[in-house]
Amino acid sequence: MNKTLLTSAVAVAMTLLSGQALAARDTINIVGSSTVFPFSTAVAETFGRTGKFNTPKVESTGTGGGMKLFCGGVGVDHPDITNASRQMKASEFENCQKAGVTEITEVKIGFDGIAIANAKSAKQLDLSLKDIFLALAKDVPDSSGKFVPNPNKTWKDVNSALPDTKIEVLGPPPTSGTRDAFVELAMEGGCNSIPVIKALKKSDEKLHKAVCGGVREDGAYVEAGENDNLIVQKLSSNKNALGIFGYSFLDQNTDKVQGSKIAGVAPSYDAISDGSYPVSRSIYFYVKNAHVGTIPGIKEFVSEFTNDKAWGPEGYLADKGLISLPDADRTSVAKSARALTPMSKPE
Amino acid sequence: MNNTPSPPPASDAPRRTIDIVNASLKRRYARERRFRRLGAFAVALGLSFVVLLFTDIVSKGYTAFAQTYIQLPLNLSAEVIDPSGSREPATLAAANYTKLIRDALRQQFPDLTERQALRRLYALVSVGAGDLVREQVLAEPALIGTTPELWVLADDDIDMLVKGNIDRTAAPEDRRVSDETIGWVTQLEQQGRVAKRFNTIFLTHGTSREPELAGIAGALMGSFYTLLLTLLLSFPIGVGAALYLEEFAPKNRWTDLIEVNINNLAAVPSIVFGLLGLAVFIGFFGIPRSTPLVAALVMTIMTLPTIIIASRVALKSVPPSIREAALGVGASALQTQFHHVLPLALPGMLTGAIIGMARALGESAPLLMIGMIAFIVDIPSGFTDSATVLPVQIFLWADSPERAFVERTSAAIIVLLAFLFLMNLAAVLLRRKFERRW
């Protein structure tokens, strides 16, 4: 009695498992960047709500992890789309080619800006990338070109045009994608504007990277946790502090905080959209053309994403904090995305 | 150690032992009292932390079990919803319910005509409100042709406003909801059209990017399938391994080595099992990512040591006399184990299994590696459907910027804690009921 029960249970389980596992996939699988995750999920949900296709599965794996999975090969085991908070690298493209993922459609969906903000009650700052580097780097070159631990205590030490207040910057910890982007866009941009360090790039690339990427640990830079909301709260109670967070949080809290100008440009929707605000990056997703037609709905998903209702300046993604491409770019990107024009090898 | 015996008093007559004991008695009692007090203090401290945690979570989370709805008279005229009169579900589903809700809202505020203002007015209700009305109509086609007063799901900002999480008296630039919207909500409230009702969506829907539409049913089912399969796999293997190692295996260097390894495995950080699962189950066997199946396999490896150790302890606690008596009346070694020892050890084994399951329920680190950190709207209906689990859902919600997710995160934690509590309670009750003492 017990034996038959057990045997039949095992048999049922086996058929259930194998039957389902072998069936073709009818849900789009999306992997990739956590920065693009909020936008991708919003589109996925709206797409699923139309009822014609299943709601795509969106995994948050990080850009690099997503690329690895995406370039793993062609077939139902591999994802159809990967999100990226940077452009695909040439090496990743080659890996894709090697695995048989030959035709990839690149879709640039918009921008992600990083704001350096302070409380509304304080004075708006105008920083250059060099100021940011000199204020926050772990080691800076002294007058003779030797690297010393950052001696700057106040903003005035950094640049005499800035106010005489203590340097106190609340920002994300190293595990955060925002921090990576900040280091890459602001710190590295700033450190390359210093000739001594720029020269280093040729002579000692490792040291160059360490100098440009090193954020000081003596208390001037405060790791305030992954939660951008928390940083906004702390800024409104501390007039002297600056905070680093995603533009969408600045946009949601314009009543409490103001973004500092960087190289004379304030972080605004338009400035980020036309590229004049320096601390911003483009975000992308990549489509595996070989899966179109095999996995139902990929084309329709791309259409939904590249619809002005979604990614336009008035679309629902703008509500979630996406900064749209300029109108002309949007039209051309949408056209090539919907035609699934394969990308060429990135430089 | 600190009381090194003082040199014996050099004075007069030799002291009797009882005097020495009496002299130290007071100090020894004091020491015991001190120890008891420290123990009680430790328990009180631990308890107060638990109470603090629970009050914090419950006080933040209980509001998520109510959700704001707006009552609107929806004109469900047959011409709009079902022009052909066939009452076919496909036709009914295709009707534009969002427009019906918007029309009803506009009726409440007839003076609004400007397009932008109307857009802001429409934002009072959730983007998913139309779908919910559709479900209602499909379930109850008799509504068609009438103008029922239906409760329509409100947007999360309105929900926060009604729940008092947005301060109406604050300066307009300090809150997310404009004066205009507050005016509309106040007017609707005065008409009794705004109410908080039990949040069934939270318990019956999958996740969503809109807080008011987000539910834990998907994560709950994911956890259920994962745990079920984990139990089915790990319990037989664990008990079998324990039985063999404890009762049949020869005691030699090899079994010692195995024992040490099992004990070590119990202490391995769970993320390591995730990496193993990624390499072996996904990489080598090609099991699909983000499925309860692969999660259960990883969890099985993770809980096996716990179950084996608990089962061996349970087997050890069965007195040898039972085995000897069974063998004495002629039972084979196998019969002895399965007819006598195993039934007596089973309650202890089950307790171990439940505690292992409780750990698996709360675990999220190994799932990072096997694709469970994912946005999955559909509720899984099998072991190979994409799924996420409760702890991961909590993690994903805690990361969302929308304010209404704060209370939903806490509410999901409450649900998770309730299940953990129930499982541990079951373990205690099982032990109480079936435990035999000799």
Measure the CA–CA gap between B105 and B101, rounded to whole angstroms: 6
Q: Which two tokens stand for residue A132?
A: 């940011």
pLDDT, tens digit, 9 for 90 and up, residues B364-384 = 889 988 888 889 988 999 898
Phi/psi at A126 (5° precision): -125, 105
Please check whether residue A347 lies inside any domain of the structure.
no
Note whether A67 and A155 are same-domain residues. Answer: no
Cβ of B401 within 8 Å of Cβ of A228? The answer is yes
Note whether A201 and A322 are same-domain residues. Answer: no
pLDDT, tens digit, 9 for 90 and up, residues B228-287 = 999 999 999 999 999 999 989 998 999 999 999 999 998 899 899 999 999 999 888 888
Phi/psi at A345 (5° precision): -65, 125
Note whether A268 and A334 are same-domain residues. Answer: no
Yes or no: say if B353 and B238 are a contact pair by the CB < 8 Å rule. yes
Q: Count other C-beta atoms under 10 Å from residue B261's C-beta.
A: 11
Higher pLDDT, A147 or B413: B413
Please check whether residue A228 lies inside any domain of the structure.
yes
Using pLDDT thresholds of 50, 70 and 90, give the confidence band for residue A226: low
Measure the CA–CA gap between B245 and B263, rounded to whole angstroms: 13
**Number of domains making up chain A:** 2
Note whether A140 and A238 are same-domain residues. Answer: yes
Over residues B220-227, the mean pLDDT reads 94
Q: Whats the size of chain B, residue-wise?
A: 438
- What is the residue extent of each domain of chain B? 65-197, 217-434
Paired strand residues for A223? A171
Cβ of B377 within 8 Å of Cβ of A48? The answer is yes
Unique residue bearing structure tokens 């690329």: A67
CATH for B217-434 (1.10.510.10, 3.40.50.12170, 1.10.287.3510, 1.10.3720.10): 1.10.3720.10
Yes or no: say if B385 and A55 are a contact pair by the CB < 8 Å rule. no
Residue-wise DSSP of B87-136: --HHHHHHS-HHHHHHHHHHHHSTT---HHHHHHHHTTB-TTHHHHHHHH
Distance from CA of B28 to the nearest CA of A (A): 50
Measure the CA–CA gap between B280 and B269, rounded to whole angstroms: 18
User: Where does A137-225 have alpha helices with state H?
Assistant: 155-158, 177-182, 188-191, 195-203, 205-213
Optimal mutation site among A5, A47, A59, interface B, most CBs of chain B within 10 A: A59
In angstroms, how far is CA A71 from the centroid of its own chain? Answer: 20
Please check whether residue A242 lies inside any domain of the structure.
yes
Using pLDDT thresholds of 50, 70 and 90, give the confidence band for residue B184: very high
Please check whether residue A91 lies inside any domain of the structure.
yes
Q: Identify residues of B whose CB sits under 8 angstroms from chain A CBs.
A: 93, 127-128, 131, 171, 173-176, 208-210, 232, 286-290, 293, 371, 373-378, 382-386, 396, 399-401
pLDDT, residue B9, reads 53
Paired strand residues for A111? A282, A323
Please check whether residue A311 lies inside any domain of the structure.
yes
Please check whether residue A15 lies inside any domain of the structure.
no
Distance from CA of A84 to the nearest CA of B (A): 16
**Domain endpoint, select from A280, A295, A310:** A280
B374 vs A16, A59, A320: nearest CB:
A59
A14 close to B (CB below 8 A): no
Measure the CA–CA gap between A309 and B299, rounded to whole angstroms: 42
**Domain endpoint, select from A239, A262, A280:** A280
Please check whether residue A268 lies inside any domain of the structure.
yes
Q: Is beta strand A81-84 parallel, antiparallel or unpaired with respect to A280-288?
A: antiparallel
A233 close to B (CB below 8 A): no
Measure the CA–CA gap between B423 and B421, rounded to whole angstroms: 5
ipTM above 0.85, yes or no: no
Note whether A192 and A305 are same-domain residues. Answer: no
Note whether A135 and A267 are same-domain residues. Answer: yes
Q: Which two tokens stand for residue A139?
A: 């080691």
Q: Count other C-beta atoms under 10 Å from residue B282's C-beta.
A: 21
pLDDT, residue B400, reads 75
pLDDT, tens digit, 9 for 90 and up, residues B191-201 = 999 999 999 99
Those of residues 110-169 in A touching chain B at CB distance below 8 A are none
Cβ of A55 within 8 Å of Cβ of B286? The answer is no
Q: Which two tokens stand for residue B112?
A: 């609004």
pLDDT, residue A4, reads 60
Over residues B40-50, the mean pLDDT reads 97
User: Residue A118 belongs to a domain with what CATH number?
Assistant: 3.40.190.10
Distance from CA of B373 to the nearest CA of A (A): 6
pLDDT, tens digit, 9 for 90 and up, residues A40-96 = 999 999 998 887 888 999 998 888 889 999 999 898 889 999 999 888 989 999 999
**Domain endpoint, select from A239, A265, A280:** A280
CA distances from A268 to A217, A234, B63, B268 (A): 30, 22, 36, 49
Note whether A187 and A334 are same-domain residues. Answer: no
Cβ of A21 within 8 Å of Cβ of B384? The answer is yes
Note whether A121 and A268 are same-domain residues. Answer: yes
Note whether A78 and A226 are same-domain residues. Answer: no
A41 vs B175, B209, B371: nearest CB:
B209
For residue B380, what is the enclosing H or E element?
none
B208 vs A45, A54, A57: nearest CB:
A45
Q: Which two tokens stand for residue A224?
A: 């305030």
Cα distance between the two ends of chain A? 68
Optimal mutation site among B160, B289, B369, interface A, most CBs of chain A within 10 A: B289
- Give the structural domain span for A81: 26-111+282-338
Note whether A32 and A167 are same-domain residues. Answer: no
Question: HSE on the CB side for A67, CA within 13 Å?
Answer: 18
Looking only at Cα atoms, what is the longest distance across chain B? 119
Distance from CA of B173 to the nearest CA of A (A): 5
pLDDT, tens digit, 9 for 90 and up, residues A251-262 = 767 777 888 999
Please check whether residue A2 lies inside any domain of the structure.
no
Residues of A in contact with B130 (CB under 8 A): none
Cβ of B131 within 8 Å of Cβ of A49? The answer is yes
